[in-house]
Amino acid sequence: MHITNNWNWSVKRSGLTFIFVLLAIMFFFFAPLSVDAHTTIEKSFPEAGDSLEESPSMIDIWFLDSVEIHSGSFKVTDQDGREFETGQPFVNEKDRRQVTVPIKEDLPPSRYTVRIDVIAPDGHPLTESYQFEVEEPEISEEDMFRDLRLEKSNPEDGVILSSSPDKIELWTTQPAEITAFGLFDDKDEVVRTSEPLVDPENPKHFIIEVEEELNKGTYTINWYAQIGDKSKNGIFYFAIDEVTSLVSAERGSTGLPSLSFGSVGGKQWAHWLAFLGLLTLFGGTWFDVVIAKKKGNQTRWKKVTLYLYGLSMLGLFLLLIERRVEFSHLIWTDFISLRFTWLTGLQMVLLTVAYWFVRKWNKPYLILLGLTVLLWTLTGHSASLRYGGVLGVGVDALHLLGVSIWFGGLFALFIMTPKEEAVSWLKEAGKSFSRWAFWSMIIIILTGIWMTLEYVPTFTLESLLASEWGTMLWVKTVLVIGIIVLAYGQRRSIKRMSSTRVRSFFTRFKMELIFGALILMAAAVLIDLEPSAAEQGVYPQKAVQGDMEVTVEIDPFQIGRNDITIRFENEPELKQVKASFFMFPSWRMENNAFPLGDGEYRLTGNFLHGAGTIYMEVEAIQANGETSIFPFRIQVPGDMPESLREYAR
C-alpha cells in the first residue's frame, strides 16, 4: 500500500504564517487575568493585626519556601497612603525562608499596610498584604475594640461539668455590649436562655440565665460583643458528664469531580504549544537518528521539523509575553533577572542554534535539543526544595525524556513511513520503536508516581477530587491508561502487519497521537496548578519535646465541623491543654481541649477554616506551671475561591 501526502512548500510556508497569527490571537483572547501563588507566608513580625507601642525598626517575613525578591517586593504605607522609606531587603543566610526589611524612619501612630510582591521558586508570583498598627498614647474607642476579647467564662472553655449550670457568665477585657448570645446542644438545637445582663458593679461582667435543664453532651456558646459600631464574636465549648461529637452523622462527600476550564488560559495554551513542538522535535529527532538510523521518508521529516521548530518558538515567545504582562510593574532589569525569564530566553537561543547551525551534525544536534528540553526542570514544581530539590529535578528530567522519546518517536514513525514498502518499514522500524516506547512508558509511569507522592505526600481519593490539580491528574491518568491499551494492540499488530491491516493500524496511530496531545495539554495545566491543593494531612505525624510525644488526628478531614483528637505519650500531670489555629494573614482561634483521660484530649466543632495551610499549636500546661508548645501544620484539601481569599485578607 502507498502512503501519499503531497507537500507544497510555498503553501506550507503561508500556512505556517497563518498559524502563527491565529495562535497569537488565541493567546490574547484566552490570557488569564489572575494567577495563584505557589508558596505561602508562614508568619511575620509584626504579625497581622498587631498593635505596637513603638515603631518597629524592621519587618520580618517567613515564607514556606525561599523566594526571589526585587526592588519593589516590599512597601510600607500608612492609612493615608503615604509610603515610608525602607532599606534594601536581605535574606537570613541561616534560614533563607526569612526576609528582613529595614525601616529607615520612625513610624508615627497609624495603621500600616505591608505590601508583599515576591516570586516563588517555580516562577509564580505571591502578592499579599497585611496590616499592623503603631498605637496612639491615648486609649480610644478603636483601641478598646482592638483589645476586646473574652477574658474568662463560667463554665470555662473545655470543662466537663457534673451537672447542668443555672447560668452562664462572661468576662470581657473591655466594657462592651453583648448584642447576641446563643447556647446550642450537640444536635445544634437552641437552648432557651435569658438576655445577657450587665453586672452593675463590673461593666465587663455579663450574666445569662439558663432557662432549662441541660442533658448530657457537648454544648456550644456563641457570643457577639460590640463597642461603637464594631463587633467581635467568639465560640467556646463545655460538656456535661461526657463529651459528645458536634460532627453531623450525615457527612458531605466530594462526589464526582467537576472539570472547570477556567484554568485553561493564555499561559496554558502557550505551555502546550511549547511542549508539543519541542518534545516532539527532540523525540522525533531521537527516532530519526538512534532508532531509524536516518532511514525512512527524510524529505518529509525535514519539512515537518521546521513546523515543530516554529511551534516551539511561538510557545516560548508567548510565555515570555504573558509573563511580561503579569509582571508589568517590574522594571526591565528586574524582569530579565527572574529565573523563568532568562531560562526561557536561553531555551529559545539553544533551540535556534541547534536547528539552524548544528542540525547537520547528529549528536551535537540531539544534545542541544535535549538540553533545551531539560531546562524546563528548573522552572517547574521540581525546582522547589519542598518538592524534592536536586533529586526532584533529576526525576523530572527522566520524565521529560521519556515523554519526548515516546510521543516524538510515535509522531516521527507516522511521518517518516515511506511511500514504498510501508509494510516492511513498519515491521522493522515499528518493532525497534516499540521497545523504546515500552521502556519510555515505564519511566513515565514510575517517575510520575514518584513526583505525585513527593508533591502530595498524604492524600485520599476525596482530597484529590477536591482540587483542580488532583482532578486534572486523574484526567491525565485515564488518558495514559488509554494510551497503554492502544499501544498494546499496536504492538501486536506490528507482528502481524500486512497490506490489508495498514489502514486500521494508522487509524489507531492517529488516536494515540490525539491522546498524547491531550496528555501534554493536561501537563500544561498541571504545571500552573498548586499540588498542595490536593494534599491532606497533619505534619509532623508526631511532635516530640523532651519525653512527651504528641499526635493529632482530625475526623472528618474537611472544611466544617471536625473532631480533633490530641494524644500524649509519656505525659506528665497536665493541668490544661490548649489548641490555637492560625491562617495567614489574620484568622486565628484558640480553645481548650476536653480531657478524656489516658493522655487523650479532644476538640469538637468548626476548626478547619478553609482550604489551604492552617498552622496549629498545642500548648500543654503542666501542674507545676511549666508549658510546652507543639507546632503542627494542617493541610486542608481544596482550592480556596478568590472571593473567600479576599475576605480572609
Q: Is 370 helix (H, G, I), strand (E, B) or coil?
A: helix
The label of the residue with cell 452523622 reads 249
Of 353, 388, 394, nearest to 374 (Cα)? Answer: 394
Query: In this predicted structure, what is the pLDDT of residue 532?
Result: 83
Is 586:632 a contact under the CB 8 Å cutoff?
A: no
**CA angle 61-63-69, nearest 5°?**
75
* Burial environment of residue 319 by CB neighbours within 10 A (0 to 12, 13 to 18, 19 or more): buried
Q: Please name the residues in contact with 626: beta carbons below 8 A apart, sequence gap of 6 or more.
A: none
Q: Could you tell me how far CA 547 lies from the centroid of its own chain? A: 35
Report pLDDT for 273.
Answer: 95
Type of residue numbered 546: G
**pLDDT tens digits, one per residue of 225-278:** 999 889 999 999 999 999 999 987 555 554 444 555 456 778 889 999 999 999
User: Which residue in 39, 78, 83, 87 sits closest to 62, CA to CA?
Assistant: 39
Place of cell 456550644: 220
How far apart are the C-alpha atoms of 591 and 608, rounded to whole Å? Answer: 13
Residue 233, all three cell numbers: 464574636
Using CA atoms, how far residue 597 sits from 385, 552, 567, 574, 629, in Å, is 41, 16, 10, 11, 20
Lowest-confidence range among 105-119, 135-149, 300-314, 542-556? 135-149
Mean pLDDT on 214-234: 94
pLDDT digits (tens, 9 = 90+) for 69-99: 988 899 999 999 999 999 999 999 888 899 9
What CATH class has 142-240? Answer: mainly beta
Flag whether pLDDT at 502 surpasses 90: no
**CATH 2.60.40.10 domain position(s) in the chain:** 537-648
- Could you tell me the three cell numbers for 310? 516554529
Cα(366)–Cα(372) distance, rounded to whole angstroms? 10
Nearest to 62 by CA among 78, 41, 46: 41
Q: How many CB atoms lie within 10 A of CB 251?
A: 11
The Cα-based distances of 503 to 262, 416, 506 in angstroms read 38, 16, 5
Grid cell of 434 as nine digits? 516499540
Question: Phi and psi (nearest 5°) for 478?
Answer: -60, -40
Distance, CA of 182 to CA of 273 (rounded, Å): 58
- Report the C-alpha gap between 177 and 15 in whole angstroms: 74
Q: Which three cell numbers stand for residue 64?
A: 514556606
User: Does residue 488 surpass a pLDDT of 80?
Assistant: no
Where in the chain do CATH 2.60.40.1220 domains reside?
41-138, 142-240
Instruction: Check pLDDT > 60 for residue 648.
Output: no
Q: Does the structure show a pLDDT above 60 at 394?
A: yes
- DSSP per-residue letters across 11-80: HHHHHHHHHHHHHHHHHHHH--S----SS-EEEEESPTT-EESS--SEEEEEESS--B--TTSEEEEETT
Percent of the chain with pLDDT over 70: 88
Q: Taking 80 as the threshold, does the pLDDT of residue 17 lie above it? A: no
Confidence of residue 13 (pLDDT cuts 50, 70, 90): low
All residues at 6 or more sequence positions from 259 whose CB lies less than 8 Å from its CB, including other chains:
471, 475
Average pLDDT of span 424-446: 87
CA atoms within 13 A on the CB side of 249: 3
CATH class of 9-30+258-534: mainly alpha
pLDDT at 255: 47
C-alpha cell at 473: 491528574
The fold for domain 537-648 equals Immunoglobulin-like (2.60.40)
Question: For strand 537-539 and strand 574-583, is the pairing parallel, antiparallel, or unpaired?
Answer: unpaired
The architecture CATH gives domain 41-138: Sandwich (2.60)
pLDDT at 124 over 80: yes
